[in-house]
Structure 1
């Protein structure tokens, strides 16, 4: 998506201990979440406007293609100086800052690296421009070098968090349904030479457990493929995302950053019952209710894997009052808001998790993994951000999101986006946000 419209959603600062029982509504701790904005410019005028309404946290975007536009090691000194000055301005004003590193905006020279292309089972690359940040050693090495330089260029010891992601939106996941642009609704983005044969494979990432097997095929190398083998293949596929996330976190740590690592987690991901249905059908498309299988979003497993591998990891729920919340709110009884006991109920047979909002489901699995959570709303539906035609308006998102954040025990809520609150066309202002926070 366009960087002028889909700026990275990020959130910050969290408690280190999280109970398996979630607070309900205003039973949240008295101090409540920290309130902030996504995609702050940190201009003098924005700093003043944010301070006037009590904004405490801002997310600031960096862009890889602006930072290193011409080649490895070639840093744009003017851009770096401007970025550092803006971040420092916000910090000096007492705002807490999260950095969206903009790894989803790779420069042209990275796109030209050998093995940089994501390939699906039909040999197609995604139309959204996503590169292979998961399996490609060359892309991962360039990315790690950029993150090292970004940390060195900023006052990193004062920064709350960096976020990590693998998708063209800067979130966790492979490209989504029909992003190969060839009319097929499902792609599996693990058919490069690196993923299949291990040629140019990123360190710490295993190659396919069944090289050459395409999901849906009933045999592999002359043998019948079982449901268990299909599940094992999917776990390899989805865990590859976790290994890529860990690689970015490791690069940040190696560069000296000691703060939090935020993992933007879109949607609900794969439901356990749907995974059983899908793998019984050998991943032929059955049971994939929203494209989460092809995107590799298996939070049930990934959060647990990452919790033990990435210290100070924080789940960023990017769908606070998204379209799924609108649907869940219409259920009887309503299934949108988090409730005490969700972290137990979500793993209990018979719980109607398919009716839950993505926010509620994701929060429950983060809690089970012992991971704290922050969140953000999807943004204006008409602006081609995370919002859709089924989402609440931005004004309604701003009204509802603070109570959702309290009820789900989020320690930070960031509203997307600063620029939208400055645009009268969206019908909502910083004062509206403040009023919603104060309740």
Structure 2
């Protein structure tokens, strides 16, 4: 779209793309005989909408994720920083004026210091530990949830809705869906983050949430209040624990709607979640176990919960945050390779087949979203390192550009967002706009 074109038209166009592009499994995918389908929308993550970058952008790359910061917008309770609000609106406006559609990062993962002093703000595990990541309880605490909702209304008021084609909402310090990960406690895989007064006893509990079905029971304990804990009890407890995340997102989405925003709500989803077979094994031992990548403790049950997300958050979009992560690299090396989405993935996901263990995170998450009827967007991990989950199998960012674009097409994603804009224009990761142009064929 030409610079200076009207801003409302691209927003509607992007919503149509999200509605019409199907998820993985809707059509055959083969590297030898690709099936014609609409390309994803192309974009970048963490955009500054700087004039020089907009002028140099690759043709067809017309979506930008602009990240807001709660702590900068409202450094003092109830007081909007007018300078920051104006700068954020100007940033979004520059992109929109250039024909670039904006997905706004809500910034909930950056709470101001004063939020940490609110009732129930402290996230607690079963040992009374708090996350070392500085997470606050936006899931269960009524006071924190109310502050988060007020932030979202304040954010929409500052930026306006006419230039937005998406708003990202998560629950973790990474801005993704999930309770704190195992790294947050300093003791890998042993923390369950739902042991404050609000989740356990309903004291100061956020609207829409419900207290724990077995108050004060700790996963792995074989008895509760003098009786044996059954696998059904454990399954119900985990459904409550994982479902609380979706209920929290639904609460934040309702706040956005009340502020006048009616567009897509993007929910960033990391990893693969717990496979049904692994969850069955976990509940059989009353959750006295762990699964790879900490999905159980994070409460990530994409197969079980994305259907609820679809039912409770109109316009939800699942953002796959690790296209071409290390799990995809390992799956690509298998014989036969297991990295690509294929027809029937959504059905195979609940089959219990051991072959699912070889699927990469992206294939599992896209299939789970397809089962729920949700559209998907995605982004590559970014430069391999501790903050992006990098390990010895990770692709360089230059290779991520090529492979992740291919996966976005093959899995029928509605949008691909390159992480990160700075990498394109500063050379810090060895990629250039020409690399992105070559990958998408523009």
- Tell me the TM-score normalised to structure 1 length: 0.93
Q: Does 1:124 align with 2:132?
A: no
What's the offset of the Cα at 1:420? Answer: 1.3
Structure 2 CA distance, aligned partners of 1:412 and 1:189?
Answer: 32
Q: Does 1:343 align with 2:346?
A: yes
Structure 2 CA distance, aligned partners of 1:222 and 1:231?
Answer: 19
Aligned partners of 1:135 and 1:205 also within 8 Å: yes
Match of 1:155 in 2: 160
What's the offset of the Cα at 1:383? Answer: 6.8
Q: What runs of 5+ residues in structure 1 fail to find an aligned partner?
A: 1-11
Match of 1:58 in 2: 64
Structure 2 CA distance, aligned partners of 1:433 and 1:184?
Answer: 37
Aligned partners of 1:157 and 1:258 also within 8 Å: no
Match of 1:276 in 2: 280
Structure 1 CA distance, aligned partners of 2:343 and 2:111?
Answer: 42
Q: Does 1:239 align with 2:243?
A: yes
Q: Does 1:391 align with 2:394?
A: yes
Spell out, residue by residue over 1:208-255, the C-alpha distance to the aligned partner (whole angstroms, 9 max, x if none): 000010011000000000111011100000000010010111110111
* Correspondence 1:40-79 to 2 at 5 A: 40-50=47-57, 52-71=58-77, 73-79=78-84
Structure 2 CA distance, aligned partners of 1:78 and 1:318?
Answer: 31
* Correspondence 1:137-216 to 2 at 5 A: 137-181=142-186, 183-216=187-220
Match of 1:87 among 88, 92, 112: 92
Q: Does 1:315 align with 2:318?
A: yes
What's the offset of the Cα at 1:385? Answer: 2.8
Match of 2:336 in 1: 333
Match of 1:292 in 2: 295
What's the offset of the Cα at 1:402? Answer: 1.0
What's the offset of the Cα at 1:31? Answer: 3.4
Go from structure 1 to structure 2 and tell me whether the alpha carbon gap of 1:148 and 1:393 turns closer, same or farther (over 3 Å shift): same
Match of 2:358 among 355, 358, 372: 355
Q: Does 1:369 align with 2:372?
A: yes
Match of 2:9 in 1: none
Go from structure 1 to structure 2 and tell me whether the alpha carbon gap of 1:345 and 1:436 turns closer, same or farther (over 3 Å shift): same
Aligned partners of 1:274 and 1:288 also within 8 Å: yes
Aligned partners of 1:98 and 1:159 also within 8 Å: yes
Aligned partners of 2:276 and 2:352 also within 8 Å: no
Aligned partners of 1:23 and 1:409 also within 8 Å: no
Go from structure 1 to structure 2 and tell me whether the alpha carbon gap of 1:430 and 1:28 turns closer, same or farther (over 3 Å shift): farther
Q: Does 1:305 align with 2:305?
A: no
Structure 1 CA distance, aligned partners of 2:268 and 2:182?
Answer: 19
Spell out, residue by residue over 1:145-192, the C-alpha distance to the aligned partner (whole angstroms, 9 max, x if none): 0100111111312210001100000000011114112x3532100000
Match of 1:31 in 2: 38
Structure 1 CA distance, aligned partners of 2:317 and 2:61?
Answer: 21
Aligned partners of 2:101 and 2:164 also within 8 Å: yes
Q: Which moved more, 1:191-200 or 1:378-387?
A: 378-387
Structure 2 CA distance, aligned partners of 1:149 and 1:193?
Answer: 29
What's the offset of the Cα at 1:349? Answer: 3.7
Spell out, residue by residue over 1:114-144, the C-alpha distance to the aligned partner (whole angstroms, 9 max, x if none): 1101100000000011111100000000000
What SS does the corresponding residue of 2:182 show, helix, strand or coil? coil
What SS does the corresponding residue of 2:319 show, helix, strand or coil? strand
What's the offset of the Cα at 1:27? Answer: 3.7
CA-atom RMSD in angstroms: 1.6
What's the offset of the Cα at 1:49? Answer: 1.8
Q: Does 1:263 align with 2:267?
A: yes
Go from structure 1 to structure 2 and tell me whether the alpha carbon gap of 1:54 and 1:130 turns closer, same or farther (over 3 Å shift): same
* Correspondence 1:422-437 to 2 at 5 A: 422-437=425-440
What SS does the corresponding residue of 1:381 show, helix, strand or coil? coil
Structure 1 CA distance, aligned partners of 2:129 and 2:261?
Answer: 37
Deviant stretches of 4+, over 6 Å: none
What's the offset of the Cα at 1:43? Answer: 1.2
Structure 2 CA distance, aligned partners of 1:377 and 1:386?
Answer: 11
Go from structure 1 to structure 2 and tell me whether the alpha carbon gap of 1:28 and 1:199 turns closer, same or farther (over 3 Å shift): farther
What's the offset of the Cα at 1:281? Answer: 1.1
Go from structure 1 to structure 2 and tell me whether the alpha carbon gap of 1:28 and 1:70 turns closer, same or farther (over 3 Å shift): farther
Aligned partners of 1:34 and 1:411 also within 8 Å: yes
Count of matched residue positions in the alignment of Structure 1 and Structure 2 = 424
What's the offset of the Cα at 1:388? Answer: 3.7
